[in-house]
């Protein structure tokens, strides 16, 4: 039975992120490291028949990877511990298809260990990608046998490499119609992760982080974090098991996942925020002939603003070369990105403002609270009337071209429509000029506009689900 709109909305107001999702949201920008057998064979999807001897990263230096990623502004790193070809970057006890079977470092090498240690040394979070699809493993397609094998590998990674912030489950499988068919024990995988790494988010084919639906480096203009539960892997499997086909409208790539219209018929809603994964070059793995495809600074900035600036996270893939190093062009691009982001967000010009509000829940939640650096100090509108307004007086006038707004997502995602104005003089008279408007704010919305000299800024919340909150207003 379809639930009533009011009932669904009432639920939407109450959906909040878990602590592990909160921690993940704060990372905002992380790196994906595609490295493995494909790096040496020039392919994107290996067959599983590759000779382990081919794996020879002579100058492997995970510290270099991490230093470059950190300089680019990234706060975490996810390594492909095993890609679809089944070759393991750590000496797994459950397969011979791993670094231990290569003469590299006399069979004593362990890339996962070095990457994890480098992340720890430089203060980045570390996560792993373990491809469910395995083209080498003989038990793949044999149900329970493969699930046991996969959980054994998972357990090694979850116990031997310190704290993980993320386990990234890729849904890709190229077996085709007549290929091997493996039923994954998703629930069993999740249980193991929750038991051994309770703080880690489970991404993509997992319950915590949603794939944004493309690999183009941009999320939706309205990227909701509260969506129907049928977008999660388990729920989809349950639905398939119960009645065969999924409804046609359930599609990760469709444009509206979370508006009032999109959630109208939903049985249940979940907090399921989006991640944008995109590569710095053409392929996910390094290929020398693609060196010229390293994206220029402007493109990388676009990725950043269209993900981190639009209520999604950015997972930027940076594939090391066969030497085991990030290449010169990628380094240059990443360093210029890091430098530009530092310039873009050098000083919050709204920091010392005086904020007046048109409404508030109580004095602990006044508009002034949006300037408190504590993320749990925030403005709360109280029962929402027609619209709510906050006016910031910066105390002086400054050249400004960006405004950052953050909802207090610990109390959910509520705002459905907002607008930002700056006070300018027209023919000697002050006037509010529209600087930006939109729908979703969520964890973070960065509005960019042509630079203006401003002293007063007005934020208007025009529509919400129940009430409105803002935990930060920043100007740059
Ligand atoms: C896809 C995979 O098939 C690609 O090789 C890559 O790992 C990408 C991130 O996900 O599904």
The CATH number given to whatever domain includes residue 284 is: 3.20.20.80
Ligand 1, atom nearest to 277 Cα: 9
Task: From the CA of 171, give the closest atom in ligand 1.
Answer: 11
> Could you tell me the distance, in angstroms and rounded to a whole number, from the CA of residue 215 to the centre of ligand 1?
9
Instruction: Answer yes or no: do 289 and 381 share one domain.
Output: no
Q: Which domain holds residue 452?
A: 354-475
- The burial of 302, by beta-carbon neighbours within 10 Å (0-12 exposed, 13-18 middle, 19 or more buried), is given as middle
Q: Is residue 15 part of a domain?
A: yes
Judgement on whether residues 370 and 309 belong to the same structural domain of the protein: no
Are 418 and 405 in contact by the 8 Å Cβ rule? The answer is yes
For residue 80, the ligand 1 atom closest to its alpha carbon is: 7
Q: Is the CB of 284 under 6 A from ligand 1?
A: yes
Find where tokens 């880690």 sit. 200
The CATH number of residue 425's host domain is: 2.60.120.260
**Is residue 431 domain-shared with residue 319, that is, in the same domain?**
no
Q: Which tokens go with 309?
A: 């600036």
Predicted local distance difference test score (pLDDT) of residue 249: 67
- Nearest atom, ligand 1, residue 279 CA: 9
30 & 164 share domain: yes
Q: Considering the domain boundaries, does residue 349 fall inside one?
A: no
pTM (predicted TM-score): 0.97
Q: Are residues 402 and 312 in the same domain?
A: no
State how far the Cα of 282 lies from the Cα of 286, in Å rounded to an integer.
9
The pLDDT value given to residue 468: 98
Sign of dihedral through CA atoms 334, 339, 344, 347? positive
Closest residue CA from atom 11 of ligand 1 = 172
As a whole number of angstroms, the distance between CA 247 and CA 253 comes to 14
Block mean pLDDT (10 aa), the chain, length 476: 83 98 98 98 98 98 98 98 98 98 98 99 98 98 98 98 98 95 97 98 98 96 96 87 73 90 92 98 98 98 98 98 98 98 98 98 98 97 94 98 98 98 97 98 98 98 97 98
Say if residue 328 is in the same domain as residue 395.
no
What is residue 338's three-state secondary structure? helix
Query: Both 323 and 414 in a single domain?
Result: no
> Does 322 lie in the same domain as 223?
yes
**CB neighbours of 416 closer than 8 A, spacing ≥ 6?**
259, 260, 439, 440, 462, 463, 464, 465
Instruction: Select from 280, 311, 344 the last residue of a domain.
Output: 344
Q: Which two tokens stand for residue 240?
A: 């398939």
Q: Which two tokens stand for residue 249?
A: 């409208």
Residues 367, 455 share a domain:
yes
Q: How many domains does the chain have?
A: 2
Judge if 170 and 227 occupy the same domain: yes
Could you tell me the two tokens for 295? 């994206």
Asked if 320 and 373 sit in the same domain, the reply is: no
Strands of 328-468, DSSP E: 354-357, 379-380, 388-406, 415-426, 429-438, 445-464
Provide the pairing of β-strand 354-357 with 269-271: unpaired
Phi, psi angle pair for 368, to nearest 5°: -60, -25
Ligand 1 midpoint to CA 13 (Å): 34
pLDDT of res. 379: 98
Q: Which of 344, 376, 410 is the last residue of a domain?
A: 344
CA–CA dist 49, 86 (Å, integer)? 9
Quick check: 232 and 270 in contact, CB under 8 A? yes
What's the rounded Cα separation, in Å, for the pair 29 and 73? Answer: 7
Closest residue by Cα to atom 1, ligand 1, is 172
Q: With a 6 A CB cut-off, is 170 part of the ligand 1 pocket?
A: yes
Domain closes at, from 344, 364, 380:
344
Tell me, yes or no, whether 62 and 155 share the same domain: yes
Residues 97, 86 contacting (CB under 8 angstroms): yes
């Amino acid at each position: 039975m379809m639930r009533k709109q009011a009932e669904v909305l009432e639920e939407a107001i109450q959906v909040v992120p878990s602590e592990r999702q909160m921690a993940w949201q704060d990372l905002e920008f992380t790196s994906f490291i595609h490295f493995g057998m494909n790096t040496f064979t020039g392919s994107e999807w290996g067959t599983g028949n590759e000779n382990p001897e081919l794996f020879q990263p002579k100058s492997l230096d995970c510290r270099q990877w991490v230093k470059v990623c950190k300089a680019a502004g990234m706060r975490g790193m996810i390594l492909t511990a095993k890609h679809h070809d089944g070759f393991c970057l750590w000496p797994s006890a459950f397969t011979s298809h791993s670094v231990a079977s290569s003469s590299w470092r006399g069979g004593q090498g362990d890339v996962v260990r070095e990457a994890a240690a480098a992340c720890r040394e430089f203060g980045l979070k570390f996560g792993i990608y373990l491809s469910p699809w395995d083209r080498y493993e003989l038990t793949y397609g044999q149900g329970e046998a493969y699930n046991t094998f996969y959980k054994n590998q998972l357990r090694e990674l979850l116990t031997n490499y310190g704290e993980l912030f993320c386990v990234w489950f890729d849904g890709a499988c190229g077996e085709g119609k007549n290929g091997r068919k493996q039923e994954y024990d998703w629930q069993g995988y999740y249980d193991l992760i929750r038991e051994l790494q309770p703080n880690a988010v489970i991404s993509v084919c997992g319950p915590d982080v949603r794939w944004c639906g493309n690999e183009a480096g941009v999320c939706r203009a309205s990227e909701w974090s509260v969506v129907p539960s049928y977008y999660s892997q388990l729920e989809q499997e349950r639905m398939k098991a119960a009645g065969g086909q999924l409804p046609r409208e359930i599609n990760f790539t469709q444009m509206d996942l979370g508006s009032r219209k999109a959630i109208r018929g939903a049985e249940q809603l979940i907090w399921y925020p989006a991640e944008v994964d995109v590569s710095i070059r053409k392929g996910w793995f390094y290929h020398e002939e693609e060196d010229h495809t390293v994206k220029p600074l402007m493109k990388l900035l676009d990725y950043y603003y269209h993900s981190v600036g639009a209520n999604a996270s950015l997972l930027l893939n940076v594939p090391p070369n066969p030497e085991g190093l990030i290449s010169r062009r990628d380094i240059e691009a990443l360093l210029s990105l890091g430098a530009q982001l530092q310039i873009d967000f050098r000083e919050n010009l709204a920091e010392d403002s005086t904020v007046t509000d048109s409404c508030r829940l109580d004095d602990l939640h006044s508009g002034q609270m949006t300037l408190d650096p504590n993320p749990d100090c925030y403005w709360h509108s109280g029962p929402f009337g027609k619209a709510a307004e906050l006016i910031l007086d910066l105390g002086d006038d400054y050249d400004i071209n960006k405004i950052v707004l953050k909802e207090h997502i610990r109390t959910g995602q509520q705002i459905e429509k907002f607008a930002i104005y700056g006070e300018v003089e027209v023919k000697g008279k002050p006037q509010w000029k529209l600087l930006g408007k939109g729908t979703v704010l969520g964890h973070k919305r960065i509005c960019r506009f042509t630079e203006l000299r401003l002293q007063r800024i007005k934020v208007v919340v025009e529509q919400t689900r129940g009430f409105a909150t803002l935990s930060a207003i920043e100007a740059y």
